Structure 1
């Protein structure tokens, strides 16, 4: 079975300072989320709240609040925007679990396991509608453009991932294109709202977007490494789920590319033909360690994390800037 990533020590990193700095705004966001999941159709709040209340860190809405604070925004539009971002994220999770036939999400049975695929998809659609409704209420065409573009790009990423599934010839560039769309795009959008709301220069919008994009890439790279080197309790899903589903992630790309002909035959058999039982997973992890695929995936994450941190250099020193840098360190430290 999978083993814990073999690093010597864990760097101290936390998002506690970020949580503390945005707490008053986050309380309003949470109240908005609860009120907007309400519906006369009783199953909708039941299904939506199953995932919304399941303990996610809500990092994306916190990025909206933190960048707005860093850029000196004084209004209250960030509350609805942050809630809209969380609704879009939750909708994509509900849809993803159906596509991936996932059984666990954040350590709990997925909505599809409790209520079925149809209900999960439809409640996801409801949350998407509520997300767009809140953006209309904000009244900013630019903000609407950012979130609606993100929704389309995320869907493109999901389709790209589906097309690449079980294809062991997938390149690192193709993999990165998937996660830029599927994961990093919403991080980028969330971080970009702050300077847009504050009317800051385009350079600051671009810097925040770069921060979000590269944080999102680093975050996903660590997730992909943890699928082979983490614990189920940490992942909130079964270790090896990506492997069993035939997903081509960076650890697979690296191990396949660096392997022998016999090893590549193993990957084809396991991923393309679906022969991915527990014994095959153990072999896969062994090959990844042999070729440093997990470790190098984490090194890639550090690279993108450094780009994210550097993007903050445009802004003056402040507690919230430091907290955003700490969020990068936290995202990467999950692998240690």
Structure 2
């Protein structure tokens, strides 16, 4: 995530609030990503885990549990499990997408190979389930295992919908709920469950994570067309070149005339692209106000996240989480 000094403040405040817990999470991650017999596992894992990610998902686990008054240690296990699930999905995604850059660095599949990325991802999934089991909570196991299945389902749905220019916004949201929001909502819900919060609070924190995750992904998709390589940690226009039907393109296609629709069918549907096509795509996205409309959707989802928090305990962490929803869409500024 790229961020400037002004919009990073909520994340900085969250990091400061959870610093002690995050030290334990990071220590646990380093311990559990080790392998006595396969040194490539920690090599590949460290390349991604130590690449400067903000650890947002594990922090959501910690924040939700602390918001609900939790004082035990199981939230540290859950936070590490969530980060391992996230890292595993990134390793697999980069293979599927044939990506060459992640967080501004070469991807693991580029530095090593696809086999290593897939197998190390599998190892991290296994480690995450070991950590879940150590909490002794079947409910937490259910939430995070369900999220893992939903993530895979979302990725497969995206694969089957790829290059189909008839894909609707409803299908896009279903994909995003799977590939991104599922782990956000599982993180916040599991944090509440381990703290034994009441069902109303658990559901509120699930709703917060779900809406935050959707806003987060819409913003990421927008930044692919309006950000910079430094900001987004990958090449601008990669989604277009990879023929991904993200929300701005789906909106532009829905508003397209015959000439524009033919352009999208050629470039996205058939993959026949030349160097000038990204510039043309940007012109169409602006002309059809697809970027502005997508930005409005991201803001609306961020507002839903903030509204969900109103059913949670009123304490300083709640305000930080609310500000974090604003931060996610502020990345577009």
Gaps of 5+ in 1: 1-9
* d(CA) in 1 for partners of 2:314, 2:220: 30
- Using the TM superposition, name which of 275-284 and 287-296 deviates more: 275-284
Q: CA deviation at 1:199?
A: 1.1
**What is the aligned partner in structure 2 of residue 16 from structure 1?**
12
2:147 and 2:186 in contact (8 A); partners too: yes
Q: TM-score if structure 1 supplies the norm length? A: 0.96
Q: CA deviation at 1:315?
A: 2.3
RMSD: 1.1
1:94 and 1:111 in contact (8 A); partners too: yes
**What is the aligned partner in structure 2 of residue 194 from structure 1?**
191
Q: TM-score if structure 2 supplies the norm length? A: 0.96
**What is the aligned partner in structure 2 of residue 6 from structure 1?**
none
Judged with a 3 Å threshold, the aligned counterparts in structure 2 of structure 1 residues 12 and 245 are, in CA distance, closer, same or farther, namely closer
Say yes or no: does 1:48 pair with 2:45: yes
* d(CA) in 2 for partners of 1:193, 1:257: 38
Q: CA deviation at 1:298?
A: 0.9
1:179 and 1:220 in contact (8 A); partners too: yes
Say yes or no: does 1:315 pair with 2:333: no
Q: CA deviation at 1:14?
A: 3.2
1:13 and 1:329 in contact (8 A); partners too: no
Q: 1:99-141 CA distances to partner (integer Å, 9 max, x unpaired)?
A: 0000000000000001110000000000000000111111110
**What is the aligned partner in structure 2 of residue 125 from structure 1?**
122
1:195 and 1:208 in contact (8 A); partners too: yes
**What is the aligned partner in structure 2 of residue 62 from structure 1?**
59
**What is the aligned partner in structure 2 of residue 225 from structure 1?**
222
**What is the aligned partner in structure 2 of residue 26 from structure 1?**
22
* Residues paired across the two proteins, number: 327
Say yes or no: does 1:81 pair with 2:78: yes
Secondary structure of 1:191's counterpart equals helix
1:244 and 1:277 in contact (8 A); partners too: no
Secondary structure of 2:272's counterpart equals coil
* d(CA) in 2 for partners of 1:44, 1:240: 31
Q: Which runs of 4+ in 1 moved over 4 A?
A: 10-13
1:13 and 1:333 in contact (8 A); partners too: no
**Matches of residues 1-336 of structure 1 in structure 2 within 5 Å?**
14-40=10-36, 41-336=38-333
**What is the aligned partner in structure 1 of residue 3 from structure 2?**
none
* d(CA) in 1 for partners of 2:8, 2:287: 28
- Using the TM superposition, name which of 156-165 and 194-203 deviates more: 194-203
Judged with a 3 Å threshold, the aligned counterparts in structure 2 of structure 1 residues 235 and 50 are, in CA distance, closer, same or farther, namely same
Q: CA deviation at 1:11?
A: 6.7
1:91 and 1:124 in contact (8 A); partners too: yes
